[in-house]
Structure 1
Amino acid sequence: RAADVCLKERRPLVLLAREAPLHAGHLEAMLKVTGMGGIVFPPVPPFYAGPETLDDMVRQIAARALATAGIDPGWSLNRWTGLS
C-alpha cells in the first residue's frame, strides 16, 4: 500500500529486492515498477568502497539506498572515485 501511494503521488520509491534467485515474475514486477517511476535498487555489497566489516557493507548499502531516495543517511557515503 505504501509503495502504491508513493507511485500515485510521484514520491520517490526505492525498492531493495533481496530475493535470490529471481524468477520471471520478479523481473516483470520490477520492470513494471521502474516503468511507473520507481527505482529498483539491488542491495549489492559495495566491495569497491573497501569495507572492513559486514557492518561497513550494510551501512554502505543503506546509505546508498537512502541517498537514492533523496534522504540524508546521516553518515558519510564512500563513493567510487576511480582507480588509484
Structure 2
Amino acid sequence: MSLGDELIARSADVCLKEGRKLMFVVRKTPLNDIHLEDMLLLRRAGAIKLPSVPAYYMRPQTIDHLTNQTMGRILDSMSLHTTGFARWAENL
C-alpha cells in the first residue's frame, strides 16, 4: 500500500467517524463478492455510493456531455451547485 492509499483510507475513516459526507464513485467492473461486500459495509457506515453510469437517457451528443453529466451528478450529491449539464427535471 502506498502513502497515497493510506492517506485516502485515513481520510475516509475520519469522515465516517465524524459524521461527514463520504462519497465513493465506483467505475470498476466486473465487481466481485469482495467489492460488493466492501461497498455494503461502507454504505452501512454512512457513505454514499454513486455509480459512474453514463446517462444515455439524456441523449448525449459527445463524450464531454457524458462526463459532464456524471460529474454534475457527483457535485449535486455533494451539495455543490454547478451548471453545464442538464438535470432530469429540466428535460421534461
Q: Confirm or deny a common fold (TM above 0.5).
A: yes
If each structure's helix is expressed as a fraction of its own residues, which one has the higher value? 2
Alpha-carbon RMSD across the aligned residues, in angstroms, is 1.9
The counterpart of 1:27, out of the listed 25, 30, 36, is 36
Q: Which runs of 5+ in 1 are unaligned?
A: none
Confirm whether residue 79 of structure 1 aligns to residue 87 of structure 2.
yes
Which 4+ stretches in 1 moved above 6 angstroms? none
Amino acid at match of 1:10: G
Equivalent residue, structure 2, for 1:14 = 23
Rg (Cα) greater in structure: 2
CA distance in 2, matches of 1:59, 1:77: 6
* Cα pair 2:65 2:85 within 8 Å, conserved: no
Q: Which residue number in structure 1 is paired with residue 57 of structure 2?
A: 48
State how many pairs are aligned: 83
Q: Which amino acid aligns with 2:43?
A: T
Contact 1:18 1:42 in 2 (8 A): yes
* Deviation (angstroms), 1:78: 1.7
CA shift digits 1:37-65 (9 cap, x unpaired): 11111100011112111011101101101
CA contact 1:48–1:80 (8 Å) conserved in 2: no
Identity of aligned residues (%): 39
2: CA distance, partners of 1:37 / 1:77: 28
- Equivalent pair of 1:17/1:42 in contact (CA under 8 Å): yes
Counterpart among 53, 69, 76 of residue 67 in structure 1: 76
Amino acid at match of 2:16: L
